Amino acid sequence: MPLVRLELRNEYGLGDPELYRGGFRKEEPKAILDGVAVSGLVGILRQLGDLAEFAADVFHDLHEQITATAVRGRQMMTRVQNIESTVPSIEKAFGKQTSYVHFAYVAGSDWHARIRDEQSIVLSTELPRFMMDSYEECRDPPRLFLLDKFDHAGTGACLKRYSDPPYFKRVWTASQMENSENFQKEKKVHKTKRKGSRPRHGEVKHAVYISHHDSSGIRFASPSIDGQRFSAVNVSSPDMRLNLEFLSRSTSFASKTRENYAEQTSYVNPQGVPDDLDYSEVPNPNLHSKDSHLSVPVLHDEPSADGLYNVAQHDLPQEQSVPRSSSVTWDEKLEIVKPTSPVSYNDILVDRVQDLENVISVQDSEPLQVNFKTENVEHAKIEALNQEDILCHIGKTSVPVSGVSHFDEVSSETDNYVDAPNTLDSESETEAGCHTKSEVQILSNFSSQGMEPRTEMRQVIAVQSSEPSDVEAHNSSHSSLSQDVTPRFLHLSSLNGSEHVQSPYATEFLQKQEQTVVDDFCERNAPNISETKFHAYECIDSVLSPISGTFSSPTMMLAETRCEGSILKPDPLADVSGVPSIKLWTNGGLFGVEPSKPPELGSVNTQNAPCMQNEPTSVDANSQGKVAGEPTNLDSSVQSNSTEDQFFARGYNTVQKFKGSPSCHDNQHVYNVKQDSNVSAEPFLQRKFEHNSEDTDVSNYASSDKLDMTRNSASSGAPLTDIYCTGSRQNGPSQSTVGISSSFSELAQRFLANTIHREASLSTPSGNINTEIRKPKGATSCLHDDIEVSNEVASQRTDEQSTNKKVAHVPAKEPVSFTSYYHEQSSPPLEYMKISSHPMNGLDNSKLKLDFSGGNLHENSEDATFPSFQLHHGPVDNLPVVLSESDDDTFHRSCPYSSEELLSPRSYTSSEQWEQEGRSEYVDHELNDVPYRFQSSTTSISRSMGFEQMNHSSISKPDGLEKFDAIIDSSKVPSQSVSAMELPGLDSVLSVKNQQERKFPSLRENPANVEVQSTNELPPPPPLPPMQWRTFKLSIKLDDNDPNISSNLNHLDELQPLRCPSQIKEQYLPGSPFVNEPISPHSDKIQDQLKLNWEKRSTRSVSHKEVDRREDLLDQIRNKSFNLRRAKISMPRDIPRPKTSITNANVAAILEKASAIRQAFVGSDKGGDDDNWTDA
Amino acid sequence: MARAGGMTNAVNVGIAVQADWENREFIANISLNIRRLFDFLLQFEATTKGKLAALNEKLDVLEHRLQVLEVQVSSVTTNPSVFN
């Protein structure tokens, strides 16, 4: 409602209103006009007064505001002048200063601007005047307070009952309270849901633990130089993370990678958040605070450089001592963290300890110390890691170790891995955002890494093992540095959440690596390492992307190799003889070889940008490329390490961005990272153990590598954990499936879980499509194998996936099929109806067709609900038959009637009756089409009967008087029958007239009375009669006015042919008035009367002489056989025809009518319309 | 009006009506112009108040800056040891 600032009243309204109320009518008109003019002028004056007032208000307000602003300006001027006065002295003092360095150490002022409290912006006192006027003008509430003494509620209760302004405030507060309560309840519900979903995570974890335990055992058995491999893995994981776009752009590694990462992170957010409410709840500050609180004291207790080691040792006993129940509690607390960290960390912890010891012993303590200092600075992250380790250890201890064979698990996992890429592909196809795919691919890479060492990666390992010293040196240095860098990155990521900040750290890390390598291991391949690291450094500086690091210098693969990756793949396959090995290889290619991924992805991108499915092939190609670029393996590894760190930071950033809860995510990430490190380390160790004959220093290397891996893996695992967390949280069933398919590598399980989750969530087409897509891309046996495996896996997928797919597909298909079915059914009916109706109408006119079309449409609408519309056909079919002969003109006359009748049962009955009548009507139809229209207008039997009766009456009475009487009767009793009301004109009139004849025979006996009635009571019948009937009515009037009957007879003769069929029909109608008269006794009478009427009619028609209508009336009334007369009269309608034919027709008609009367009498008992007649 | 007022009773009603229409037209023109004045006043008020609001906003910004400057100057003047 707009507020009225000012109401400018009409100038005449401002004058004397009495002028316009007729108060001055007695005055002279001229004086009145002058008065009106003067009042108008007065109104104008008042308008001017209003204008002046309004202008005064406006300018007053403006004046006030301008004065206020002027005051402010003056105050400002004074303040500026004050500052101007003081500034020169300060400038002088400042200019006198020789050194300005000490200004940097000046504390400054603690002043803070006092932001005005924006409360009470709207005050009642600030209301504009035009609004205040309304308040001022309003009246006070009634003095109800006088009744307070009678009210027990207290003072003001009565007035409150009348008006309670604070009521709205109270209601608002109550509603707010309810909302807050509801919100709290929802929170609780969400928490409970999360708890409910937790068991699934536990299952997944269980499976993962089992697999991990096996892998861990193998890992222990095999000391490894995992550092290199692990670094490569880490590098690959971020690479996999990269989007297709990123890969396509991989030629330019510089800033695009960052952008891609940023994009990935940005993409991740929308997906993860909506998918899992539980996940969104995860960032609960309480959980985070708990975790951080627990972790922080440990770090604080051991802030020294050996803090991590001590923490690890400290954690071990805790883990061992902690029972399973404790793990459950941790699960409850961490909820999401646990599922993401299925790895058993006992081994990791042990490895860490060993690695730390080795590193400390082998390497100089300085870099490590520095690193640990940095760690202390950023201890929170490390603490989180430690806590996570503890948790993981607990989980592992609680979970029984499964003695499943490693290879069997590997095979099963390979299938799962194959599924994973398929799912990734499907996801890539479905989802526009590729970050999820990349994440899944990363997971797959990790899992595949575990698979790779057995197969073709051995070659790479062997090549790497040829230079163990370098590797060791690098690993050692990298381990220490990686520890430093990773926490930094974590810290930076947590603080800034931007990759740019990380870049300097990465460079520093590389430099440190170089230094450490050079210092510690100058004996060995120091130059090579330094060079490699330098390359890595450059790569990192330039790109800060693992892809760039891997491809830039060491591997020599670059973008060229990317396209070649697919070609390189078959070679490793050829190397691997066993089919399962092929599977492994495929899996490993899919997931394991990380550095190769970027080129593959690039190639894939070039081939199919939207599809990330080429990753496995690309991975294989990369691994081969590494093999080919043997001399640069170390470099690649080093670079991969560095890149891993960077990726870790990035992944961490992404995780933060993704989840929006940095604290919880940090913990989860660290935890996941540890898991990843274990997983990744295991395959590497296995590889080394199998292939490295030169590993005398393997133990040391392994230890150092483990450290690196733990740290690097933490960095690399961040994204994975993110993905995994999302997947596990999102898909409970997927987790269960993962638990079922427990494999040796946790990453594989994670990947499976993710993949399953992806599939379930996306419910995209299964791997078949993916395989198809891959085939054209990969064009290699490896790819085909992968595809096959993926297909198998797709078939072997758990019920959850199938159910999900079903759910996804069924609803989609069912509605479609249903609609299609419906469409099929519905559409044919329409056509069918048309077809059927048209043949039925074929006999009829186009009018009938039209009528049918209407009916068809209506039926079609009904068919929409009932596919079996054929039920409607019956009536439709019947109708055309009836209509073809009788109802042609009904449509003419009143389309709505006809259309309605067709569908209504009434029409049916009428049609039946018409059929009954049809036998006799056929002859008449041919002759009389015009009168048929009138009959056709009758929609019901009653109408037809009335109409017939009318005809009979009119015919039976040779004079127009009868009709006149009928009209009079109709006017008297316009609504005796529904049919009369419905039918326009003649039907009602005549039917009523017949009734009246029965009711008032005396009137008939006395035509004079009838005439009087006609004169007095001649209001037209309610329905508009047709023109013919109007003319007829006129004739009747003429009859009334002028006793000359000849004119009436002429009119009647003109009208009779129109009525003829109706008369004939009426004879057959069951509802005929014969009901009142028993047939048997009156049959003779009827016939006699018919003859009489016919004779009269014939004589009248032939000679056109006057007939004593009164006598006829009397006769009719006496005999009560007007029906018969009507029947007879029907024949005279044919009078215009030759007499011979008329006589024959009359004879035939009489005979038929006699039989019809019998039928009608029999049917009259049934017809409901007879009641009207009997009543009449 | 003047013409209508000057007319005597002998004038027929038609002339009176004609005069009345002229008077009404005159009054309507005046009323229309008054309405235009109202519109002008409203627009003037709106524009002036809008400009005043903008000016006040600028003054607010300037006041904030001045406040900062004053604080800085005061911090310097009240802490002369900085320059020593």
Taking alpha carbons only, the member of A954, A950, A957, A961 closest to residue A1042 is: A961
Q: Do A93 and A169 belong together in one domain?
A: no
Q: Do the Cβ atoms of B66 and A79 come within 8 Å?
A: yes
Q: Do the Cβ atoms of B9 and A28 come within 8 Å?
A: yes
The token duo for A900 is: 């309605």
Q: Do A93 and A150 belong together in one domain?
A: no
Q: Do the Cβ atoms of B82 and A5 come within 8 Å?
A: no
Q: Is residue A58 part of a domain?
A: yes
C-alpha angle B66-B70-B71 in degrees, rounded to nearest 5: 120
Average pLDDT rounded to a whole number, residues A833-862: 40
Altogether, the residues listed in chain B come to a count of 84
Contact residues on chain A for B28, CB-CB shorter than 8 A: 11
Of A391-395, A465-469, A965-969, A1156-1160, highest mean pLDDT: A1156-1160
Give yes or no for residue A37 having a pLDDT over 70. Answer: yes
Q: Do A75 and A165 belong together in one domain?
A: no
Q: Do the Cβ atoms of A30 and B13 come within 8 Å?
A: yes
Q: Do A88 and A155 belong together in one domain?
A: no
Rounded distance, CA A254 to CA A250, Å? 9
**Half-sphere exposure (Cβ direction) of A1030: Cα atoms closer than 13 Å:** 7
Q: Which of B5, B55, B83 shows the shortest C-beta gap to A69?
A: B55
Contact residues on chain B for A9, CB-CB shorter than 8 A: none
B69 touches chain A (CB under 8 A): yes
* pLDDT beneath 50, residues of chain B: 1-2, 4
Is the Cβ–Cβ distance between A945 and A1071 less than 8 Å?
A: yes
Type of residue numbered A970: S
Rounded distance, CA A1176 to CA A360, Å? 123
How many CB atoms lie under 10 A from the CB of residue A953?
31
Q: Do A19 and A91 belong together in one domain?
A: yes
User: What is the end-to-end Cα distance of chain B in Å, rounded?
Assistant: 91
pLDDT of A184 reads: 92
Give yes or no for residue A1117 having a pLDDT over 50. Answer: yes
Q: Do the Cβ atoms of A38 and B1 come within 8 Å?
A: yes
Higher pLDDT, A1014 or B38: B38
User: Which pLDDT band holds residue A180 (cuts at 50, 70, 90)?
Assistant: very high
Q: Do A3 and A93 belong together in one domain?
A: yes
Q: Do the Cβ atoms of A65 and B17 come within 8 Å?
A: no
Is the Cβ–Cβ distance between A205 and A339 less than 8 Å?
A: yes
pLDDT of A74 reads: 92
pLDDT of A185 reads: 92
The count of structural domains within chain A is: 2
pLDDT of A77 reads: 92
Average pLDDT rounded to a whole number, residues A1041-1058: 46
Higher pLDDT, A285 or A1135: A1135
Rounded distance, CA B65 to CA A738, Å? 62
Contact residues on chain A for B74, CB-CB shorter than 8 A: 109
Average pLDDT rounded to a whole number, residues A794-819: 41
B54 touches chain A (CB under 8 A): no
Tens digit of pLDDT for each residue in A407-445? 444 444 444 444 444 444 444 444 444 444 444 444 444
Tens digit of pLDDT for each residue in A350-393? 455 455 445 444 444 444 444 444 444 444 444 444 444 444 44
Q: Which of A51, A83, A113 shows the shortest C-beta gap to B38?
A: A51
What is the pLDDT of chain A when averaged over all its residues?
50
Rounded distance, CA A1170 to CA A1155, Å? 19
Best residue in B32, B34, B52 to probe A by mutation, most A CBs within 10 Å? B34
B47–chain A nearest CA distance, Å: 11
Contact residues on chain B for A103, CB-CB shorter than 8 A: 82
Contact residues on chain A for B77, CB-CB shorter than 8 A: 86, 89-90
Rounded distance, CA A27 to CA A686, Å? 123
Average pLDDT rounded to a whole number, residues A624-648: 42
Q: Is residue A787 part of a domain?
A: no
- Rounded (10°) angle between helices A406-430 and A166-221: 140
Q: Do A5 and A91 belong together in one domain?
A: yes
Contact residues on chain A for B48, CB-CB shorter than 8 A: 62
Q: Is residue A735 part of a domain?
A: no
pLDDT of A572 reads: 40
How many CB atoms lie under 10 A from the CB of residue A1147?
12
C-alpha angle A480-A482-A487 in degrees, rounded to nearest 5: 110
Q: Do A19 and A85 belong together in one domain?
A: yes
Average pLDDT rounded to a whole number, residues A565-591: 41
Give yes or no for residue A172 having a pLDDT over 90. Answer: yes
B83–chain A nearest CA distance, Å: 6
Best residue in A4, A24, A33, A114 to probe B by mutation, most B CBs within 10 Å? A33
Tens digit of pLDDT for each residue in A512-556? 444 444 444 444 444 444 444 444 444 334 434 433 333 334 334
Query: Sign of torsion, CA A1144 A1146 A1152 A1154?
Result: negative
pLDDT of B64 reads: 87
pLDDT of A1152 reads: 80
Contact residues on chain B for A83, CB-CB shorter than 8 A: 66, 69-70, 73
Rounded distance, CA A638 to CA A1136, Å? 121
Is the Cβ–Cβ distance between A647 and A715 less than 8 Å?
A: yes
Q: Do the Cβ atoms of B24 and A62 come within 8 Å?
A: no
Q: Do the Cβ atoms of A51 and B37 come within 8 Å?
A: yes
Nearest residue of chain A to residue B9 (CA atoms): A30
Q: Do A145 and A93 belong together in one domain?
A: no
The token duo for A379 is: 């201890």
Q: Is residue A156 part of a domain?
A: yes
Helix/strand/coil (H, E, C) string of chain B? CHHHHHCCCCCCHHHHHHHHHHHHHHHHHHHHHHHHHHHHHHHHHHHHHHHHHHHHHHHHHHHHHHHHHHHHHHHHHHCHHHHC
B3 touches chain A (CB under 8 A): no
Q: Is residue A5 part of a domain?
A: yes
Average pLDDT rounded to a whole number, residues A728-741: 38
pLDDT of A145 reads: 84
Tens digit of pLDDT for each residue in A232-265? 334 344 344 434 444 444 344 444 444 444 444 3
Taking alpha carbons only, the member of A642, A591, A646 closest to residue A619 is: A591
Q: Is residue A1041 part of a domain?
A: no
Give the end of a domain, one of A132, A156, A179.
A179
Q: Do the Cβ atoms of A73 and B59 come within 8 Å?
A: yes
Cβ-based neighbours of A887, under 8 Å, separated by 6 or more:
A848, A851, A879, A898, A901, A911, A914, A936
| pLDDT above 90 coverage of chain A, percent | 3
Give yes or no for residue A666 having a pLDDT over 50. Answer: no
A95–chain B nearest CA distance, Å: 9
Q: Is residue A57 part of a domain?
A: yes
Buried b (16+ CB within 10 A) or exposed e, A580-592: ebbbbbbbbbbbb
pTM (2 d.p.): 0.28
Is the Cβ–Cβ distance between A228 and A691 less than 8 Å?
A: no
Q: Do the Cβ atoms of B75 and A109 come within 8 Å?
A: yes
Altogether, the residues listed in chain A come to a count of 1176
Higher pLDDT, A721 or A753: A753
Q: Which of A61, A80, A97 shows the shortest C-beta gap to B83?
A: A97
Give yes or no for residue A65 having a pLDDT over 50. Answer: yes
B17 touches chain A (CB under 8 A): yes
pLDDT of A169 reads: 92
How many CB atoms lie under 10 A from the CB of residue A594?
39
Q: Which of A8, A38, A69 shows the shortest C-beta gap to B35?
A: A8
The token duo for B36 is: 């235009």
Taking alpha carbons only, the member of A636, A652, A626 closest to residue A713 is: A652
Q: Which domain holds residue A24?
A: 1-97
Give yes or no for residue A398 having a pLDDT over 50. Answer: no
Tens digit of pLDDT for each residue in A932-954? 444 443 333 334 343 444 444 44
Q: Do A147 and A82 belong together in one domain?
A: no
Q: Which of A6, A11, A90 shows the shortest C-beta gap to B76?
A: A90
pLDDT of B12 reads: 75
Q: Is residue A771 part of a domain?
A: no
Size of the A and B interface in Cβ pairs below 8 Å: 120
How many CB atoms lie under 10 A from the CB of residue A156?
13
Q: Do the Cβ atoms of A94 and B83 come within 8 Å?
A: yes
Give the end of a domain, one of A179, A198, A231.
A179
| pLDDT above 70 coverage of chain A, percent | 17
B58–chain A nearest CA distance, Å: 10
Q: Do the Cβ atoms of A69 and B80 come within 8 Å?
A: no
B65–chain A nearest CA distance, Å: 10
ipTM passes above 0.90: no
